[in-house]
A and B are shown apart, each in its own frame.
Chain A
Amino acid sequence: MGGLMMKKSVFTAVSAIAFAAASVAYAGPSAEVLHWWTSGGEAKSVAVLQKEFADNGGTWTDMPVAGGGGDAAMTALRARVLAGNAPTAVQLKGPAIQEWYEEGVLADISAVAEAEGWEGVLPASIAGHMKCDGKWCAAPVNVHRVDWIWANADVLAANGIAMPTTWDEFNAAADKLAAAGITPLAHGGQAWQDATVFEAVALGILGPEGFHKAFVELDMDTLKSDKMVAVFDQMRKMRGYVDANFSGRDWNLATAMVMNGEAAFQIMGDWAKGEFLAAGKVPGKDFLCASVPGDGFLYNVDSFAMFKVDGDDKQAGQGLLAKLIVGQNFQKVFNLNKGSIPARTDVAMDEFDSCAHLSAKDMSESSANGSLLPSYAHGMALRGAQSGAITDVVTAHFNSDMSSADAVKMLADAVANSL
Chain B
Amino acid sequence: MTDLGFPQSQGRNWGHVALRCLLFLLLGLFALFYLMPLFVMVTTSLKSLEEIRTGSLVAFPRDVTFEAWRTAWSGACTGIQCEGLRPYFWNSVILAIPAVLISTLIGALNGYVISQWKFRGANLIFSLMLFGCFIPFQVVLLPMARMLGLMGLAGTIPGLIFVHVIYGIGFTTLFFRNYYVTIPAELVKAAKVDGAGFFRIFWSIFLPLSLPIIVVTVIWQFTQIWNDFLFGVSFSQAGTQPVTVALNNIVNSTTGVKEYNVDMAAAIIAALPTLFVYVVAGNYFIRGLTAGSVKG
A and B touch in the complex (CB under 8 A): yes
The chain A residues found within 8 Å of chain B, CB to CB, are 3-4, 7-8, 10-12, 14-16, 18-19, 32, 35-44, 46-47, 50, 60-70, 72, 75-76, 78-80, 82-85, 87, 250, 252-253, 256, 269, 271, 274-275, 278, 338
- Answer whether residue B81 sits at the interface, using C-beta atoms and an 8 A cutoff: yes
How many A-B pairs have beta carbons closer than 8 Å: the answer is 163
Q: Are B158 and A41 in contact (CB under 8 A)?
A: no
Measured between beta carbons, the chain A residues less than 8 angstroms from B257 are 39-41, 252, 274-275, 278
Measured between beta carbons, the chain A residues less than 8 angstroms from B258 are 250, 252-253
With most chain A CB atoms within 10 A of its CB, the pick from B102, B154, B254 is B254
Among candidates A3, A4, A84, residue contacting B149 with C-beta atoms closer than 8 Å: A84
- Answer whether residue B129 sits at the interface, using C-beta atoms and an 8 A cutoff: no
Measured between beta carbons, the chain B residues less than 8 angstroms from A19 are 152
- Answer whether residue B223 sits at the interface, using C-beta atoms and an 8 A cutoff: no
Among candidates B102, B155, B162, B252, residue contacting A83 with C-beta atoms closer than 8 Å: B155
Among candidates A43, A79, A275, residue contacting B141 with C-beta atoms closer than 8 Å: A79
Measured between beta carbons, the chain A residues less than 8 angstroms from B251 are 66
Q: Are B145 and A82 in contact (CB under 8 A)?
A: yes
Nearest residue (CB) in A for B143 is A82
Known pairs A43-B256, A72-B248, A252-B258; A61 contacts B148 (CB<8 A): no
B: number of interface residues (CB 8 Å): 52
Known pairs A15-B159, A69-B254, A78-B142; A39 contacts B249 (CB<8 A): yes
B232: min CB distance to chain A, Å: 10
Q: Are B142 and A62 in contact (CB under 8 A)?
A: no
Q: Are B79 and A75 in contact (CB under 8 A)?
A: no
Known pairs A32-B238, A39-B253, A271-B255; A256 contacts B149 (CB<8 A): no
Whole-angstrom distance between the alpha carbons of A82 and B141 in the complex? 10
Measured between beta carbons, the chain B residues less than 8 angstroms from A269 are 255
B87: min CB distance to chain A, Å: 11
Q: Are B152 and A79 in contact (CB under 8 A)?
A: no
Q: Which 4 pairs across A and B sit closest by C-beta, in order of nearness?
A: A64-B79, A83-B149, A40-B256, A83-B154
Known pairs A82-B149, A84-B149; A37 contacts B254 (CB<8 A): yes
Beyond known contacts A35-B79, A46-B79: 13 more, CB 8 A cutoff: A11-B156, A11-B162, A37-B256, A39-B253, A41-B256, A43-B77, A46-B80, A67-B252, A75-B141, A79-B141, A79-B142, A84-B149, A278-B257
Known pairs A11-B158, A76-B233, A83-B149; A43 contacts B142 (CB<8 A): no
Q: Are A64 and B249 in contact (CB under 8 A)?
A: yes
Known pairs A3-B106, A75-B141; A80 contacts B249 (CB<8 A): no
Known pairs A83-B155, A84-B154; A38 contacts B249 (CB<8 A): yes
Among candidates B145, B162, B239, B259, residue contacting A80 with C-beta atoms closer than 8 Å: B145
Nearest residue (CB) in B for A70 is B254
Q: Are B253 and A40 in contact (CB under 8 A)?
A: yes
Q: Are B238 and A15 in contact (CB under 8 A)?
A: no
- Answer whether residue B18 sits at the interface, using C-beta atoms and an 8 A cutoff: no
- Answer whether residue B234 sits at the interface, using C-beta atoms and an 8 A cutoff: yes
